[in-house]
Amino acid sequence: MAWRWYVYQFGNKFVLLYPFYTLLFTKTGLSSAEITSLFVVWTLSSLLLEVPSGVLADVLSRRALLVIGPLLEAAGFALWIAVPSYASFALGFVLWGACGALQSGAIESLVYDGLRHYGAADRYVAISGRAHAVGTVTVLAAMVVASPVFAFGGYGVVGVASVAACLFTSVVALGFPDHRPEETEASENSLDQDKATAFDNSLGHGGEKAEASKDSLGHDQATAFDNSLGSGSEKTESSRDPLDHDGAGAFDNSLGRGGEQTETSRGFLEHGKGRADAPVDPHDDEAGVSEGVGEFLGTLRQGLDLVRGNGRLRHLVLYIAAVVAIWGGLEELVPLLAADSDIPERLIPLLAMGVNAGVALGGVLAGPAARLGQRWLAVGVAVAGGALALGVASGSPWGLVGVVAAFAVFSLAGLVAQARLQDAITGPARATVTSLAGLGTDAANIGVYLLYAAASQYGGDRGGFIGGGLVYVLIGAFAIGRLALTKRSAAQ
């Protein structure tokens, strides 16, 4: 499962159109105002679809959403190349935003529940960090490869390559095993019920049938156990090493059972629907739609109630929104910082690559960092914020080393917090809660850009980055204070 996520990230980020789509808009004749409005369309589509797509990931197959998302993105890129116009670009951004929304929440929940199914949830933070590192490095690789490909075939070849990358990503997603906690719980409940029934029968038939009842109990246990596994001894063998044998073990079993069969089984377990050969009621379709809408709204309500009623979850959602949104927004503005710091233009791409390398390093170090206490991570965020502010204020190229280091700390702090969010979520609304955190991050990102614009009016682009660093100092200090109060309250 881990390697499949890495490959999925590679395909998802290896889009050669990234460095050129703004130029494509300009070549088509769009004005700066029109191009800006396209980015607004992109942002709004992501925001509006973030939470609904998370709810869908809890109600429907997460694997299916991960397959569909890249197909939508591929359709958008194909539309841009085939029919370049403002309307096509706007629709393409809507499809791209829908792709990101379908993936957000679904991939984290699918991987976490899969690891939890095999008793390896503690590996999630390390795997998640490496997956994000793969994505960051892949973006850099795509930028390097894009230039010669563009020189060879122009927008057409770059666009076709981007569509191919999306299709590859969709195919990779077909191999994800989609384990649901409720399936495991239902199987366990079925096993317990079979045990209880067999035991009751043995008591009710007297001593002369005790031995037969004992054999019946053993048979019922074996049957329930086989049913709970879904594929008998073969899956038992494959589940011994699920992470290292993804393709040969859990993946094969998940495909062997079939998507339709899995969904049907879930329906029988959860809703107690009738036999397949039962007469068809003409009102079944209408009832099914009502039931689906009710399940959607119920899952959304459950996710919202979970965040509202759980102080730790609420704190993590807000913390993730602040930590991830700031560095995510500032990362896009690094070229402006370089230009404001008197760095030669030829070195600006190197600085941007250095920051991306810092973000990737943070992903790699997220696993070891998760073993640190919350207090040390909060201290790290505050220190990194100070390093960012001081490094930018120095105005020297050496000061930018502190900037790169700060981005590494911010990246790993965000990933560790996201992993702890997964640990704190209970119940079937995991993707919904994860999408709520994503919505908070997207909304905070807009606030970061507005605050940056205000700060840059007084201190230039360096002022915007210094302000971001000082906010991180405050976030770290607040987290340290909150942990101290929590510890004091627990002691009392």
pLDDT for res 395? 76
Least confident among 219-228, 299-308, 324-333: 219-228
**Residues in Cβ contact with 155 at an 8 Å cutoff, skipping those fewer than 6 apart:** 20, 24, 27, 81
Mean predicted confidence (pLDDT) in 339-348: 73
pLDDT for res 204? 45
Reported as a pLDDT band with limits 50, 70 and 90, residue 288 is low
pLDDT for res 180? 77
Mean predicted confidence (pLDDT) in 224-246: 40
pLDDT for res 287? 63
Mean predicted confidence (pLDDT) in 298-305: 87
pLDDT for res 251? 37
Reported as a pLDDT band with limits 50, 70 and 90, residue 283 is low
Q: Which two tokens stand for residue 337?
A: 């910082």
Mean predicted confidence (pLDDT) in 427-456: 88
Q: Identify the residue with better confidence: 440 or 486.
A: 440
Interval 350-393: pLDDT, tens:
788 889 999 999 999 999 999 988 899 999 999 999 999 999 99
Mean predicted confidence (pLDDT) in 66-79: 97
pLDDT for res 476? 94
Interval 239-274: pLDDT, tens:
434 444 444 444 344 433 334 434 433 443 343 334
**What value does the mean pLDDT of the chain take?**
80
Q: Identify the residue with better confidence: 481 or 263.
A: 481
Mean predicted confidence (pLDDT) in 177-199: 55
| Residue 427 clears pLDDT 80, i.e. is over it | yes
Least confident among 233-247, 334-348, 430-444: 233-247
What DSSP assignment string belongs to 361-407? Answer: HHHHHHHHHTTS-HHHHHHHHHHHHHHHHHHHHH-STTHHHHHHHHH
**Residues in Cβ contact with 212 at an 8 Å cutoff, skipping those fewer than 6 apart:** 205
Give the whole-angstrom CA distance, residue 316 versus residue 418.
Answer: 8
Give the whole-angstrom CA distance, residue 372 versus residue 419.
Answer: 13
pLDDT for res 351? 82
Least confident among 315-319, 361-365, 453-457: 453-457
pLDDT for res 209? 41
Burial class of 229 by CB neighbour count within 10 A (0 to 12, 13 to 18, 19+): middle
Q: Could you tell me the sign of the dihedral formed by the alpha carbons of 434, 16, 18, 325, in that order? A: positive
Q: Are 365 and 412 in contact (CB under 8 A)?
A: yes
Mean predicted confidence (pLDDT) in 298-317: 88
Give the whole-angstrom CA distance, residue 382 versus residue 379.
Answer: 5
pLDDT for res 212? 41
Least confident among 139-153, 159-173, 175-189, 452-466: 175-189
CA distances from 485 to 11, 319, 480, 491 (A): 45, 17, 9, 10
pLDDT for res 336? 81
pLDDT for res 485? 85
| Residue 175 clears pLDDT 70, i.e. is over it | yes
Classify 342 as helix, strand or coil.
coil
pLDDT for res 149? 92
For the chain, the helix, strand and coil percentages under 3-state DSSP, each to the nearest 5: 85, 0, 15
Give the whole-angstrom CA distance, residue 137 versus residue 303.
Answer: 33
pLDDT for res 286? 64
Give the whole-angstrom CA distance, residue 179 versus residue 480.
Answer: 37
Interval 102-114: pLDDT, tens:
998 899 999 999 9
